[in-house]
Structure 1
Amino acid sequence: MSSMQVCVLLTEDTNPTSAARPRPLRILFHPQCMEKLGLVAGDLVQVSSQSACKSLGIIWPSRTVSAEHISVSQHILDTASLLEGSTATLSLVSVPAVHAAIINLVWLHTPEFHIDEALSIYVKEILLETEYVCSGQMVRFQYYGKERLCMVDQITPIDPIQINSDPHQIIPFRLVRSTRVRFEQAKSTVETRVGKVEYSTIGGLGEQISTVRSLVELTLCNPEHISCLGFRPPRGILLFGPPGTGKTLLARAVAYETSAHVITVNGSEIMSRFHGEAETRLHHIFQEANEKSPSIIFLDEIDALCPKRDEGATEVHQRIVAALLTLMDGINTYSSKTTQHHRLVVIGATNRPNAIDDALRRPGRFDHEIEIGIPSEIHRFEILQALLKKVPNSLNDMDLRTISANAHGYVGADLAAICREAGLKAIQRIEAESLNAGVVQTDDEMHLLDLQITLEDMRLGMSMVQPSAMREVTLEVPKVKWTDIGGQEDVKQRLREAVEWPLKHPEAFLKFNISPPKGILLYGPPGCSKTLMAKALATEAGLNFLAVKGPELFSKWVGESEKAVQEIFRKARAASPSIIFFDEIDALAVRRGGDDASVADRVLSQLLNELDGIEPLINVTIVAATNRPDILDTALLRPGRIDSILYVSPPDADSREQIFRIQTNRMACSDDVDLKKLAELTEGLSGAETMAVCQEAALHAMEEDLHALCVFQRHFIDAIKRITPRITPRMLEFYDNFRQRCGLRSV
């Protein structure tokens, strides 16, 4: 085996309390895959990631992993800078192991305890258990009840002559009893390794990249250009947007492209139980950045580090915010002796910008705020192009445009997950084709040449990945199509016009300068397919579907109900184009008029503000259903909020015949079943009651004979006699009076 690419999974520890020796370097392979590649248990391999980070690994057989994957420990993931599910390159290590004389470890988190000889002995025993050590290797261990993290910075061999000078070949070291372990003071409290992330590898963020690039390069490379005008270069950039849109990736690309010294700060690494320790760590970070300028300090998830001080922040958080404010103000000063400006930029990233302390969001600290939003269809196409640039595939631009057009609400991380799932499906497809053909491929490189991701692989991958913004509220909506609903053709057409037309024919709306309807109300007797139509609308239009249940919005705490409504609309905007379906909306939007403001009144007010407030509702359609339209608040029913009010009437004879035809197509029925006759006999029944007739007829046939082959006409006749119509003439008169009173026309 020269080298091969594999998909990496994290090894699950099935018995974490076991006293067995840990094997952090073991790479679990399926035995058949080992045999095909000519590997044997105990082979030492090099694991490389796309970021050029390397780790050592020992091949070990296991039938718990599939032939398409390898399973590795968290130790290897850390050292090689790999993520679970990513692709790694394996190659055999040809150089022999070298005995180590001295191993220098660097703390990645500043320890709050004294380092003594006992710790060196303890860590040496851990490294002896690891079997092999290499430069850049991460070392995790528990000490003082907390997980510690170090990195092997430098290894001095006992015999320097044995060292191979090949820079691409990792050198394995073994510890002996005479090996000494030393600790060096932390260079920073953070990870400073940055993978190779170029601007060209990021798709869909062209405008944001241009803005960030100009700001960062102005500060790091040419600060004197703006200083000669008497102004200070920008020092802070805040990237905000939903999770998975590329904020951290953009910051890494900026760091790589500018060749600046990068310090990545995570909130959990700054915190300390000792008074003043967190502020000291921040001070050391800024001090290191100044000494090694040009530098970038990247504060990931800054909302966890600097929450608003007036909203219940702890004393530690308040001190950290104060320290960060002072340090960021200090960036703008420069030494009078050297008259050289500090070439330093602070980049923050968050998906909750309103949770950050307001003092940080003023000019002079975070001068610029750049939104990394949900990608549009064009941006999704660019992201897919970037993701698949170096991946073997048979997709053309038209295929990518088709996928991007159907990926409503998907962010960059979701699209990357789709590509990864598609790759796994492609591997499974090739393996299945080889087995079916009876071909055993021993040449791994020839095997990989046949591997290409197809459009069908992408579609299968897309079916397995939900949009990030929808994962908390996504419902398994039954795949209901318009053809599954009998009759109501006029209502179906109006729903298509309101939802499907703006997506498929936006140029027509722009030409006439009109906006698509924001809201649609379906009202009518119970059981007349109102909810079913909303499901069919979501399925046929391919939109994200959020179903709202009234009781879930109400809370006994003041303000929580309104916040729940606001959160629903926020998720719908993030996953647009989308549909919010309010079933039985009369439970939420009852007419106001009481003396005291109730929870329902506040919920209704919030709902009205979301529908027609200051913040526009773009590509979000409200569909509501009720059988009590008379009690709805009139403010909700005006144009601009609920634009279309559609009466869903009980099915007529033709509609009932269609319902019978749809249902009987899925049943074993006798030739004597007369659908037209059944439609005539079910006058006055709703759609749900008509479906109940079919179910009752099947049960009646089973009562006669459990082994019956089909349902006869007589079974349907008996079932009709058992069903009592629940739609009365008085009820129909009520809906007719409501329509006339409100000046509505029936469709």
Structure 2
Amino acid sequence: MAAGVASARLGFEETLIDLIKARNPVLLVETHEAERVLKLVRSVAQNSEIRRSRRVATYTLTNGLQDGVAPGRPMAPDAALSEAAKVTEPTIFVFFDLHHYLGAGGRPAEPGVIRSVLDAAREFRAGRVPHTLLIVAPALPLPADLEKEVSVVELPLPGKAEIEAVLDEIITTNAANIVVDLSAEDRERLLQAAQGLTLGEAENAFARAIASDRRLDADDIDLVLDEKRQTIKKSGLLEFIEPAGSMEDIGGLENLKSWLGKRKDSWLPAASEWSIPAPKGVLITGVPGCGKSLTAKCMSTLWGLPLLRMDVGRVFSGLVGSSEQNMRAVLKLAEAVAPSILWIDEIEKGFGSSSSGDSGTSQRVFGTFLTWMQEKSKPVFVIATANKIDGLPPEFLRKGRFDEIFFVDLPTPKELKEIWRLQLSQRLTDSSRASGGLVLSDGLLQRLAEESNGFSGAEVAEAVVSACFDAYSQRRAVQEADLFRSIRNTTPLSKTQEEQIRQIREWASARAVAATSREDSGELALVGASAGRDVTSYRSGRQIEY
């Protein structure tokens, strides 16, 4: 039997029943939820769809084989597999510690145990008694000898119904000592906050919420979310980004902001009445320092969804097979937290070299991600940013992967004026203005925008910081002269990387949508028609009205 992941269209129990009926001899479930697996297996063992009901026996290193009747004794795994083959009643053997002997954690697999599994597989498949070996492990890259013998069964994280059952149980158990003050909406939000946790983690989160003040109310939603943050942090593959700022903190990019605003709440059930699917994602490319990453952070506030940042470098690991497993774990966690936003910053650095000579690992990981983007059914919105988009493989950019590709150019004069206003408003306090400092007049902002033509948003922000340092060193308020001096002392990226920026614009002129609205950009000229002009004096990017 060829190894493979059982169809995601079927539930865990349905898949397990099918594989048992087909007499697949060895199954693998990768999960931390050992007790949940055992509970589900015991339910399946007595399912009427299986013609001959099964007993359930478990194996651990400390207790050996146990069938729930006779106590076990410590036993080596190869000896336990040999004993299992002698059992005369149809049985599902659930082995919990076998992965330690099959190469988990980078340790070498033990040949004797591998041979015992192969012998058991041969006996369970063709023997008179229909047994099934179910290996439960947090993670297990299969040895080559077992790849064709083992079927991988995916156990999804608990759904809303399972988490709700845990909540109801903990409320019932503590009913005499606690106060429950949850509206129907609060309860729904609490359950949604717990999605993405294992049943044990959800129970711990609810228990912590109750223990803090002997109440369960809307204020406890943040405690449950904190437990989710810890879970994501422990995975080491995703980072939970706290909501910060709003779209009003971004100067310009009105096309992009309008596009995102119109897709807010599109994952809710009400959107299905309009026959629209949940948006897949957006790719934002352009000049460095012009607001791509800031847009991702502010989008979490706009949509009210958790923002998860994936560091592609962490996905790749030195252990054979673990990179592919890491990618599957990332995608599984993002879907479990859905609806959510998955942010991949500077994606070209992670996937731009997918064809490099690394025994095909990069290509397999990249292929897994592409397939998931195309076929995902959970509302996980992917926002990817790239500075050098021409370094990405062509298949990554075709329609169907992303809903749209936006190009972020250097700020227009109108956008520069708004960026200066935002940056100065954030940096200058009322007390500094009252003591003879700056007055943010329209005229001043206009002169600053004209003087800083060709600056990126990040360079404007640094110019303001530099001016503040100059003023602080003399313990005085910031003056206009400080700002203009900072501008003169800055050599913008549009000068130091003029050729690179021109190349980015040439690529975007026919392939991307301008993030800046037509009203903000004024008369735009395509790169091809602007030969010989200064790099700061034209804009490129196909215009679409939103």
Scaled to the shorter chain, the TM-score interval is 0.5 to 0.7
Tell me the amino acid that sits aligned with residue 411 of structure 1: T
Distance 1:645 1:658, change over 3 A: farther
Aligned mates of 1:643, 1:297 — CA distance in 2? 47
Residue 405 of structure 1, aligned match among 186, 192, 215: 192
Aligned mates of 2:457, 2:469 — CA distance in 1? 19
Deviations 1:511-544 (A, max 9, x none): 4364623x42212222111122223334554235
Tell me the amino acid that sits aligned with residue 207 of structure 2: R
Q: Name the structure with the higher helix share.
A: 2
Instruction: Determine the structure 2 residue equivalent to 1:349.
Output: 136
Aligned mates of 2:392, 2:44 — CA distance in 1? 56
Shift of 1:571: 1.4
Instruction: Determine the structure 1 residue equivalent to 2:167.
Output: 384
Aligned mates of 1:376, 1:666 — CA distance in 2? 48
Tell me the amino acid that sits aligned with residue 36 of structure 2: K
Alignment of 1:318-357 (within 5 A): 318-322=114-118, 324-325=120-121, 328=124, 332-333=128-129, 348-352=135-139, 355=142, 357=146
Deviations 1:335-380 (A, max 9, x none): xxxxxxx9x9866534558738467658xxxxxx864312344554
Instruction: Determine the structure 2 residue equivalent to 1:536.
Output: 298
Shift of 1:664: 3.0
Aligned mates of 2:118, 2:352 — CA distance in 1? 48
Aligned mates of 2:179, 2:279 — CA distance in 1? 38
Distance 1:315 1:506, change over 3 A: same
Shift of 1:620: 3.8
Shift of 1:699: 0.8
Instruction: Determine the structure 1 residue equivalent to 2:208.
Output: 421
Residue 323 of structure 2, aligned match among 556, 564, 570: 564
Matched, 1:264 2:90: no
CA contact (8 A) 2:201 2:227 kept: no
Shift of 1:474: 3.1
Q: How many residues align?
A: 464
Distance 1:306 1:393, change over 3 A: farther
Distance 1:256 1:597, change over 3 A: closer
Matched, 1:477 2:477: no
CA contact (8 A) 1:565 1:607 kept: no
Distance 1:327 1:649, change over 3 A: same
Deviations 1:2-35 (A, max 9, x none): xxxxxxxxxxxxxxxxxxxxxxxxxxxxxxxxxx
Alignment of 1:376-525 (within 5 A): 376-377=159-160, 379-391=162-174, 392-394=178-180, 395-426=182-213, 451-466=214-229, 468=231, 471-475=235-239, 477=241, 479-482=243-246, 483-497=248-262, 500-503=264-267, 505-508=268-271, 511-512=274-275, 514=277, 516-517=279-280, 519-525=281-287
Structure 2: gaps (5+ residues): 1-9, 48-53, 66-74, 514-541
Aligned mates of 1:233, 1:630 — CA distance in 2? 48
Matched, 1:375 2:158: yes
Shift of 1:623: 2.6
Shift of 1:254: 5.0
Residue 493 of structure 2, aligned match among 726, 729, 747: 726
Q: What SS does structure 2 have at the residue aligned with 1:415?
A: helix
Shift of 1:549: 5.0
CA contact (8 A) 2:420 2:445 kept: yes
Matched, 1:739 2:508: yes
Aligned mates of 1:641, 1:423 — CA distance in 2? 43
Aligned mates of 1:549, 1:210 — CA distance in 2? 34
Shift of 1:647: 1.7
Distance 1:533 1:713, change over 3 A: same
Alignment of 1:226-265 (within 5 A): 240-244=29-33, 247-248=36-37, 250=39, 254=43, 263-265=57-59
Instruction: Determine the structure 1 residue equivalent to 2:447.
Output: 681
Shift of 1:645: 1.2
Instruction: Determine the structure 2 residue equivalent to 1:649.
Output: 409
Deviations 1:431-466 (A, max 9, x none): xxxxxxxxxxxxxxxxxxxx3333323422431443
Shift of 1:689: 1.6
Aligned mates of 2:381, 2:155 — CA distance in 1? 24
Aligned mates of 2:118, 2:32 — CA distance in 1? 27
Alignment of 1:53-452 (within 5 A): 240-244=29-33, 247-248=36-37, 250=39, 254=43, 263-267=57-61, 278-283=77-82, 297-304=93-100, 313-322=109-118, 324-325=120-121, 328=124, 332-333=128-129, 348-352=135-139, 355=142, 357=146, 361=150, 371-377=154-160, 379-391=162-174, 392-394=178-180, 395-426=182-213, 451-452=214-215
Structure 2 length as normaliser, TM-score? 0.67
Structure 1 length as normaliser, TM-score? 0.51
Shift of 1:321: 1.4
Distance 1:385 1:554, change over 3 A: closer
Matched, 1:548 2:311: yes
Shift of 1:686: 1.7
Residue 603 of structure 1, aligned match among 362, 369, 388: 362
Aligned mates of 2:393, 2:125 — CA distance in 1? 53
Aligned mates of 2:25, 2:207 — CA distance in 1? 35
Q: What SS does structure 2 have at the residue aligned with 1:240?
A: strand
Distance 1:549 1:727, change over 3 A: farther
Q: What SS does structure 1 have at the residue aligned with 2:173?
A: coil
Residue 582 of structure 1, aligned match among 344, 348, 371: 344
CA contact (8 A) 2:285 2:405 kept: yes
